[in-house]
Amino acid sequence: MSILLSLMACAPPDLTPTWAYDPIWIEPIGDGGIHGFETWEIFGPGWQGHYNDRYYVCSVVVQVDGTPADPCDAEDGCTYAWDVTPTPAQSDCPHSLDGDPLFETLERIAFGGPTVDPDPPWPGQTVVGYADYGNGWEVHGDAYPEALDDGGRTDAITWDGTEPFLMVPTSSFQLGK
């Protein structure tokens, strides 16, 4: 019996593309615009619930360029919004995933008020990040200055137009449904 359990524990994970997770990195550019990258990370079926890199399948990187949107209509606390144009940049995914329309659906990005996440990545410096994938605004997740993850310090509490920001999703997309 212990040999069977050992063999099962060593079996390679199922890497059928099943889940997609899309962190977004943006930096300010002139005239209030943004430039950045949405990185679609694709995982196999065992990833959901475990969030282990062992289920990693591949990534699709999409360049994002945006212009200020006025008004910022994501939510009442919305402070900044951009209309964005996604452009596929690179991928290490199998050909079967190339050209999946999901990867180019991002239309708008916005930041709102303080996060309601009970365990935010950077308390006091994390705001709500919104995304519109063509079906209206939805909460994408937490957004905060990139410098915090790099060990830097910043006084920025929200987007100030001078520092790059990360938008970390609080949910994932199920592929193929």
Say how many C-beta atoms besides its own lie within 10 A of residue 165's C-beta: 26
Q: What is the pLDDT along the chain (177 residues), one digit of tens a residue?
A: 555 444 455 678 888 889 999 999 999 998 899 999 999 999 999 898 788 999 999 999 999 999 999 888 888 778 899 999 999 999 998 766 767 788 899 999 999 888 888 888 888 889 999 999 999 999 999 999 999 988 878 877 778 888 999 999 988 888 875
Q: Where are the domains of the chain?
A: 22-36+60-170
Please answer whether residues 93 and 40 qualify as being in contact, where contact means their C-beta atoms are separated by less than 8 angstroms: no
* pTM for this entry: 0.88
What letter does residue 98 receive in the DSSP assignment?
Answer: T
Cis peptide upstream of residue 94 (ω within 30 degrees of 0): no
For residues 2 and 140, give the distance between their C-alpha atoms in angstroms, rounded to a whole number: 44
Beta bridge partners of 19: 43, 174
